[in-house]
């Protein structure tokens, strides 16, 4: 036994699904398999659903920690535990538990433990609390240095007794939860180099949405380095979502039109409306049914309630704003957790800062904005911008 590494994966919200549960589980299995494939080319690797859990088995040569880390990054995974298995009888479970604890004594200097047993197989002749006591006694005999501590043990040893085979483990590494990628359509994220939009993309992907991105720059006012920063951010996000397309659009021709033909204080809101419309057009072409932004109520002048109404009125496609009601500190914390923060705070110029008005309107009126736009060839500008879009394939680093 245990010639392989075994990992028990718990499915979180997927487990709550009703009729569609098999579909979600299959998707989750596929996602885990795809994610692990890049390690050892996925040879000698098995991912299987069983009794509401997913079991991953790998050859011993795999790096256990790496496998746990990769599995925990898959959306839909609630938690994962490296485990060992034993035939479902108390002698075999006891032997495996002793071996397991001897290993922990050697590796972590463990001194106290407690057994938490659960009998998933209700036909197993011994009840859960008794299994716990019996296995605990066997461990005490097999590991002389150990003591039981029911309140604050160094190790909580889980024994999960199932039909035929039982599992022993101590650690549960948390995943992000959510739903498997690909179970909820595809969205086009407006990705800037800031803190917010990568988090917004990540949050929608966590709910199962595939993503593509569009990024606006104002080259040569914005530098190549600024664009590289965005590619780096996108790449970090793709560490969760897998490869995706990023469309880049030079907004400078539109910005120049706006600053020469429209009131200065409306520049930002007008630019934002163009961004949304261009993103919508590219989204339609690419089969995306929603736009995603990092907008957050009240954060800046262009994100007041009135400004959001005016921005929103530029498109008909639904716009997802997963950060809308979050506080900045919480967004920053999330950015840190997913690994985008350090890149986001690098000080490179953004296209929005190129023609930043001194006193942007905070209470724009749609009629007034439409009037300003009537000075512009809106359709033509959008069409040319969409045609000029370039595509970059974003891969995990």
Site of interaction with ligand ATP (CB under 6 A): 190-192, 194-197, 215-216, 275, 293-295, 299-300, 302-303, 350-352
**Calpha distance 372→347 (Å, rounded):** 32
State the binding partner of 215 from Mg ion, ligand ATP, none, CB within 5 to 8 A by kind.
ligand ATP
Residue showing the smallest CB distance to Mg ion in the complex: 194
Say which entry of ligand ATP, Mg ion, none residue 235 contacts (CB below 5 to 8 A, set by partner kind): none
Indicate the residue among 352 and 378 with the shorter CB distance to ligand ATP: 352
Please name which of 65, 137, 52 lies closest in space to residue 94, comparing C-alpha atoms: 137
| Residue least distant from ligand ATP (Cβ) | 194
CB 233 to ligand ATP: min, Å: 10
Question: Between residues 15 and 297, which has the closer beta carbon with respect to ligand ATP?
Answer: 297
Report the distance separating Cα 256 and Cα 8, nearest Å.
57
Nearest approach, Cβ of 11 to ligand ATP (angstroms)? Answer: 31
The residues pairing with 48 across neighbouring beta strands, listed in sequence order, are: 55
**Which partner from the list ligand ATP, Mg ion, none does 325 bind, CB cut-off 5 to 8 Å by kind?**
none
What is d(CA 394, CA 235) in angstroms, rounded to the nearest whole number?
6
CB of 237 to Mg ion, least distance (A): 15
Q: In the bound complex, what is the minimum distance in angstroms from residue 2's beta carbon to Mg ion?
A: 51
CA–CA distances in Å: residue 169 to residues 69, 93, 115, 381: 16, 12, 10, 61
Q: Is 360 in the site for Mg ion (CB under 5 A)?
A: no
Rule CB under 5 A: is residue 194 a binding residue for Mg ion? Answer: yes
Between 5 and 343, name the residue whose CB sits nearer to ligand ATP.
Answer: 343
- Check residue 192 for interaction with Mg ion (CB under 5 A): yes
DSSP 318-374: -EE-TTTT--HHHHHHHHHHHT-HHHHTS----HHHHT--SS--SS--HHHHHHHHT
**Six token digits for residue 232:** 């780096």
Candidates 37-45, 139-147, 193-201, 326-334: pick the segment binding Mg ion (CB under 5 A). 193-201
How far apart CA 272 and CA 314 sit, in angstroms, is 9
Nearest in space to 22 (alpha carbons), one of 33, 34, 10, 14: 14
Contact between 165 and 89 under an 8 Å Cβ cutoff? The reply is no
Q: How far is the CB of 283 from Mg ion (least distance, A)?
A: 19
Residues in the site for Mg ion, rule: CB under 5 A? 192, 194
């Amino acid at each position: 036994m245990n010639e392989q590494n075994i990992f028990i994966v718990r499915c979180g919200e997927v487990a709550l699904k009703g009729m569609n549960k098999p579909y979600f589980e299959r998707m989750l299995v596929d996602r885990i398999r795809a994610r692990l494939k890049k390690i050892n080319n996925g040879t000698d690797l098995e991912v299987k659903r069983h009794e509401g859990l997913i079991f991953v088995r790998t050859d011993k040569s795999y790096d256990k920690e790496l496998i746990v880390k990769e599995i925990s990054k898959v959306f839909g995974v609630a938690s994962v535990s490296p485990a060992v298995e034993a035939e479902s009888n108390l002698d075999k479970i006891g032997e495996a538990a002793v071996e397991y604890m001897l290993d922990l004594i050697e590796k972590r200097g463990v001194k106290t433990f407690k057994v938490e047993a659960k009998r998933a197989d209700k036909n197993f002749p011994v009840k859960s609390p008794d299994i716990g006591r019996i296995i605990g006694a066997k461990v005490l005999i097999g590991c002389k240095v150990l003591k039981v501590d029911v309140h604050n043990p160094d190790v909580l040893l889980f024994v999960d007794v199932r039909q035929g085979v039982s599992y022993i483990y101590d650690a549960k590494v948390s995943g992000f939860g959510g739903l498997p990628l690909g179970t909820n359509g595809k969205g086009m994220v407006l990705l800037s180099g800031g803190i917010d939009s990568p988090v917004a993309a990540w949050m929608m992907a966590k709910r199962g949405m595939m993503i593509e991105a569009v990024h606006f720059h104002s080259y040569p006012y914005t530098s190549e380095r600024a664009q590289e920063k965005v590619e780096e951010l996108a790449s970090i996000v793709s560490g969760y979502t897998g490869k995706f397309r990023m469309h880049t659009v030079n907004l400078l021709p539109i910005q120049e039109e706006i600053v020469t033909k429209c009131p200065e204080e409306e520049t930002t809101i007008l630019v934002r409306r163009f961004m949304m419309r261009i993103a919508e057009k590219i989204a339609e072409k690419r089969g995306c049914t929603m736009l995603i932004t990092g907008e957050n109520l009240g954060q800046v002048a262009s994100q007041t309630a009135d400004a959001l109404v005016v921005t929103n009125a530029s498109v008909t496609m639904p716009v997802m704003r997963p950060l809308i009601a979050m506080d900045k500190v919480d967004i920053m914390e999330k950015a840190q957790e997913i690994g985008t923060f350090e890149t986001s705070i690098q000080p490179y110029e953004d296209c929005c800062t190129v023609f930043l008005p001194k006193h942007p309107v905070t209470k724009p009126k749609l009629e007034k904005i439409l009037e300003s736009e009537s000075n512009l060839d809106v359709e033509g500008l959008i069409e040319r911008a969409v045609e000029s879009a370039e595509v970059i394939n974003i891969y995990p680093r």
